[in-house]
Amino acid sequence: MQRRRFLASSLGAAGLAFAPPASLQGAAATESGRQYYELRRYRLRAGKESATTHQFFRDAFLPAVNRLGIRPVGVFSQTVGPRNPVLYVLIPSASLERLARLEAHLRSDVQYLKAGRTFLDAPADSPAFERMESSLMLAFRGQPRLRVPPMTAAHRPRVFELRTYESPSERDHWRKIEMFHSGEFDIFRAAGFWPVFYGDTLIGQRMPQLTYMLAFSSLSERNRLWRAFDTAPAWQKLSHEERFAFEPIVTNVTNLILSPTPYSQI
């Protein structure tokens, strides 16, 4: 796992700026209302272990973290992407400390331990999952909190797109975040997108990187909205501005299509 500055905000109020000291960042993020996100990726085994994992998240994990005041929590199956089956779990929190102490709290939760026993006590020759990878993100200033799509509350069909942008340097990474705040957010909204979250990765793999999630009612809507975005005059103008086009500021894009599990809160 690679690490960079632990709590970098990446973007100044009017352009690029270096982050304040790490000792001040937690308070700054809390005061501004910016959430932290933990994104977990579980690599599952096909068969009964997958059923055990779903039962664990539905009946043990979600109720336990909700009791700690952490909600809504998203649980998604991977529809399009490498290495199926994979389960993604998105955990938002207004407090970094709450995320850091989450596992300690769960280990002392009797209800959680009882409801999740089959998953937690799975034997070595039949584990509930192969591996779990995790990243920690800080919400962008321009969208400081996770936004649940209206399709979720209405219990309507929905799909999600999880996009990760890797940059060749810290400077280019900060520049890409600046690009979002310089008009890209507005272009997404004008095209009809529903952004769920935007996160600057503080701890994770293949850094520097940022990750964001979009919600759609269907894949056909997703394709239609992206065509509208790509041809929007405002996007053509923004993407050709010299401060964003002087070199490739994004060198790799990972794009996944996810489906919410029936018990997902997002």
User: What does the pLDDT read at residue 137?
Assistant: 98
pLDDT at 29: 53
- E strand or H helix at 211: strand 209-216
Distance from the Cα of residue 126 to its chain's centroid: 29
Q: What pLDDT is attached to residue 50?
A: 82
CATH code of the domain occupying 20-260: 3.30.70.100
- Whole-number pLDDT of residue 31: 52
pLDDT value at position 3? 39
CB 93 within 8 A of CB 99: yes
Beta bridge partners of 215: 160, 194
Residue of 240, 66, 59, 79 whose CA lies nearest to 162: 79
The vertex-152 CA angle with 150 and 156, nearest 5°, equals 95
With DSSP H G I counted as helix, E B as strand and the rest as coil, what are the percentages for the chain, rounded to 5?
40, 25, 35
38: helix, coil or strand? strand
For the chain, 266 residues long, give each residue's pLDDT as a single digit of tens. Answer: 443 443 333 333 333 333 433 333 444 455 569 999 999 999 987 766 688 999 999 999 999 999 999 999 999 999 987 777 899 999 999 999 999 999 999 999 999 999 999 999 999 988 889 899 999 999 999 999 999 999 998 889 999 999 999 999 999 999 999 999 999 999 999 999 999 999 999 999 999 999 999 999 999 999 999 999 999 999 999 999 999 999 999 999 999 999 999 999 99
Q: What local confidence, expressed as pLDDT, does residue 38 receive?
A: 98
Of 96, 84, 196, 89, nearest to 149 (Cα)? 196
Per domain, the residue ranges of the chain are: 20-260
Q: Kindly report the pTM of this predicted structure.
A: 0.87
